[in-house]
Amino acid sequence: MYSESATTIANLHAGYAGGTPVAATVSAVYRRIAAVDDPGIFIHLRPEADVAAAAAALPPFDPVAFPLWGIPVAVKDNIDVAGLPTTAACPAFSCVPVRSATVVEKLVAAGALVIGKTNLDQFATGLVGVRSPYPIPRNAFDPARVPGGSSSGSAIAVARGIVPIALGTDTAGSGRVPAGLNDLVGLKPSLGALSTRGVLPACRTLDCVSVFAHSVDDAFAAYAVMRGLDREDAYSRPVAQDLPSEVTPIIRLGVPRGADRLFFGDAAMADAYAAALDIVTPLAASTTEIDFTAFFAVAKLLYEGPWVAERHAAMRAFLATHAADVHPVTRMIVGAAERFSATDAFEGLYRLAALKRATEQVWDQVEALVVPTAPVFPTLADLAADPIGPNSRLGTYTNFVNLLDLAALAVPGPFRADGLPAGITLIGPRGSDAALARLGAAFVAAAGERRHAASPAAA
């Protein structure tokens, strides 16, 4: 039986300190891949012998100098790993980089072992995880449900116990929604905190590398290794280097007012969110209901406004020669950019500035927002019937975050009545990453055994 505790950084390091060879961990990873038997998780898997050789070449065990020593990691296939193809789930786009992305270089320098490249919604466009020409990764709890996207393969690799850490990307929720639908932590850092050099752009001004893990501690450990200003990335920005233990606890929380708690008829998600609020509110000194009208208006700008043209900018050259190789739903979404002009783009920027000013007053009242990670849990049949609607609903509480330059952390909460996972997302101002991690860890601890319902993920 799979135990998520066996795949934490602390457990692996305790084993290494006690004499467990790192080769045993590598072997266990590949045995787990075979046992899970999900061909949709990895697009490219490194041969076991190659990973074993990388493990043998590690310096002597020193978890202080090398915080991720011997830790297996998976990488979303829109992030470069030297020597492995980057496809962004589009075989015709495939290229083999000679250099890894900055974040991957930092992971490897910290002792991590890259296992392979994971599946995704093609060109990181989607929140459902099914827009791929490759087999679809199976949701860890119910294969009839969507895995969540776009970072589907990375989320499932962690959820199924293959690796303790995986990298995703998060422009509109792609590092949070899959976490919420698979009982994981999904850390979406402040914009620019992690370099995006070597990451295929989706929306260049909004892209973030994200981290999946089973615990907040593990997610933050990987984030802490990767963060820092990168002069090779024009959008890299300095960010606070503090740790969760070093920051003042968040004690003023904001939650959506009743009218803004949107679950689109999914009573199980609504009930799970209510149960999560019962756990998180005692951790704070005050909880304030917030009018989310302006936040929702910002969210609509991402796909209904001219920002869709930024996705087109990232794909324009490839679309000009390979349009037929692009997933039809992806092509339809990006093709909507043709409706917008340069004038529309500026008007969109003005509209965003006004909405951002309208939301600023919220941060005078609260230090963090607590929202549902995903308000619905679509089935594969739902997506087959309507490829757009369920995806749009999944972004209700995620799409506005990067446009408003906020940090976010998805954490697992009480399970739904039907045994499926649900979670909340903590959102705070830029630079609040450590404070959100401290609150997230406290919430998970307070949730206790309600987080550990029996499920197919444990098989």
Active site residue 392: no
Rounded to whole angstroms, the Cα distance separating 366 from 427 reads 11
**For strand 165-169 and strand 72-76, is the pairing parallel, antiparallel, or unpaired?**
parallel
- Name the active-site residue from 100, 132, 150, 190: 150
41 contacts: CB under 8 Å, gap ≥ 6 = 33, 118, 119, 137, 153, 156, 157, 160, 162
Helices (H), 168-258: 177-180, 216-226
Rounded to whole angstroms, the Cα distance separating 34 from 336 reads 41
Cis peptide before 245 (omega within 30 of 0): no
Long-range pairs of 9-15 with CB within 8 A, sequence gap ≥ 24: 9/67, 9/68, 9/71, 9/164, 9/165, 9/217, 9/218, 9/221, 10/217, 12/70, 12/71, 12/164, 13/63, 13/69, 13/70
- Name the active-site residue from 76, 106, 117, 188: 76
- Name the active-site residue from 152, 154, 174, 190: 174
Q: HSE, CB side, 13 Å, CA atoms: give it for residue 266.
A: 23
* Residue 106 tokens, joined: 């930092």
Active site residue 100: no
Active site residue 174: yes
Q: Which of 84, 70, 80 is nearest to 27 (CA)?
A: 70
Q: Which of 383, 304, 321 is nearest to 146 (CA)?
A: 383
Residue where the block lists tokens 């910002």: 298
DSSP code of residue 415: P
Q: Which of 372, 367, 369, 307 is nearest to 336 (CA)?
A: 307
Rounded to whole angstroms, the Cα distance separating 206 from 194 reads 12
Beta strand extents in 185-283 (DSSP E only): 185-188, 209-213, 252-256
Report the alpha-carbon angle 242-217-172, nearest 5.
80
Ramachandran assignment for 369, one of left (phi > 0), alpha (psi -120 to 50 degrees), beta (any other): beta
Active-site residue list: 76, 150, 174
